[in-house]
């Protein structure tokens, strides 16, 4: 299934049904009076997060959604039927934005969570509503009120606990494959990963977390270079970032600073998230290169740097434990 994490749709709630003008006509009853009923309510537009979906591909070709109009009123003071709501099913983690792509209308982070985006119009009053002691035979009935309508942006932000960031060919896909049961595409050329990949990391029978592999960033990504920063939204919800750096290249500090600059250029609080720095591909490094590059990175970042190898799994269990500890601390600090 094609991965689609953004879609623009048009939605319209149903209009209210019309009220009617009617008068009671029964044998042997001299004064019947008005008995026109009210119109029914139009259907709402509701967005619901459901489990089992991980893409917005359903909204790639069907982009217009309209609820039905409420039923009209009838004689004998009968109210028109209300119309059924239209429920749009989206993946967990979907953000509903207004047409300006900035105003958040709903953020659906839990399966079963719902949000009413457009409210259906109320039904119009029939002439029985307007009967008074001085106006005993009103000949007025109102039309139904129009339902709300708007253009929306649906944007999917995957629910992951930890995110993998780094330059292309930093070894993110390999790390994800050895840390989880995910099987991302792995090759020796840049931009092997074109869409975000998720994997569940199980440390033991009771501890697990979700790890997201984000396509590689390059210099100028926040301005649209390469794949740009389009997929960085998928790590906005992460509790911690694992920054992988290719240790086989001669200047790991430059690689680190390039990615950090793109995170800061993107915004969204990514540059403030807890970060674990790991120098990857230690199997392709000499002992002297290990020592010098770790020292250079620690001097430039002011943080400890881990040595790992996705190919040999050196340092991987310890890094996963550090990620898990950071995630659990984050969960404990969350309200509720």
Of 195, 216, 234, 180, the residue nearest 1 (C-alpha):
195
> Residue 317 annotated as binding?
no
CA 308 – CA 281 distance, rounded (Å)? 7
Q: Report residue 97: phi and psi, to 5°.
A: -115, 150
Task: Tell me the residue ranges of DSSP E strands in 44-196.
Answer: 45-50, 64-66, 86-91, 94-97, 104-108, 114-118, 149-156, 162-165
> Residue 171 annotated as binding?
yes
> Residue 172 annotated as binding?
yes
> Residue 193 annotated as binding?
yes
Of 21, 75, 74, 11, the residue nearest 42 (C-alpha):
11
> Residue 187 annotated as binding?
no
> Residue 135 annotated as binding?
no
> Residue 280 annotated as binding?
yes
> Residue 310 annotated as binding?
yes
> Residue 191 annotated as binding?
yes
> Residue 170 annotated as binding?
yes
> Residue 75 annotated as binding?
no
> Residue 195 annotated as binding?
yes
> Residue 281 annotated as binding?
yes
CA 57 – CA 272 distance, rounded (Å)? 32
Structure tokens at 160: 């992951």
> Residue 167 annotated as binding?
yes
> Residue 309 annotated as binding?
yes
> Residue 283 annotated as binding?
yes
- Alpha-carbon distance values, 149 to 57, 69, 118, 279 (Å): 22, 13, 6, 51
Task: Tell me the residue ranges of DSSP E strands in 141-253.
Answer: 149-156, 162-165, 197-202, 208-213, 240-246
Binding annotation = 166-173, 191-195, 213-216, 280-283, 309-311
Binding annotation for GTP = 166-173, 191-195, 213-216, 280-283, 309-311
Binding annotation for Mg(2+) = 173, 193
């Amino acid at each position: 299934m094609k991965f689609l994490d953004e879609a623009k749709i048009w939605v319209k709630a149903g209009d209210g049904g019309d009220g009617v003008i009617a008068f009671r006509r029964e044998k042997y009853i001299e004064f019947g009076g008005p008995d026109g009923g009210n119109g029914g309510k139009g259907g709402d537009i509701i967005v619901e997060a459901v489990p089992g979906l991980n893409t917005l591909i359903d909204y790639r070709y069907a982009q217009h959604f309209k609820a039905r109009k409420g039923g009209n009123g009838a004689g004998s003071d009968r109210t028109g039927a209300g119309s059924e709501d239209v429920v749009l099913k989206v993946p967990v983690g979907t953000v509903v934005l207004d047409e300006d792509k900035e105003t958040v209308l709903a953020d659906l982070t839990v399966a079963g969570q719902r949000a009413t985006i457009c409210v259906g119009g109320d039904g119009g009053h029939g002439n029985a509503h307007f009967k008074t002691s001085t106006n005993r035979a009103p000949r007025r009935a109102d039309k139904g009120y129009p339902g709300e309508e708007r253009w929306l942006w649906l944007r999917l932000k995957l629910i992951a606990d930890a995110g993998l960031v780094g330059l292309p060919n930093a070894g993110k896909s390999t790390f994800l494959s050895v840390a989880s049961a995910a099987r991302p595409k792995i090759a020796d050329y840049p931009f092997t990963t074109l869409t975000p990949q998720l994997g569940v990391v199980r440390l033991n029978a009771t501890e697990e977390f979700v790890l997201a592999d984000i396509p590689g960033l390059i210099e100028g990504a926040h301005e649209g270079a390469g794949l740009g920063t389009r997929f960085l939204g998928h790590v906005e919800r992460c509790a911690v970032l694992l920054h992988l750096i290719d240790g086989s290249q001669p200047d790991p500090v430059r690689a680190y600073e390039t990615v950090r600059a793109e995170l800061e250029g993107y915004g969204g609080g990514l540059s403030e998230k807890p970060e674990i720095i790991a120098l990857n591909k230690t199997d392709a490094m000499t002992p002297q290169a290990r020592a010098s590059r770790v020292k250079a990175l620690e001097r430039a970042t002011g943080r400890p740097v881990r040595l790992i190898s996705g190919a040999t799994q050196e340092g991987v269990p310890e890094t996963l434990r550090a990620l898990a500890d950071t995630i659990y601390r984050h969960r404990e600090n969350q309200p509720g």
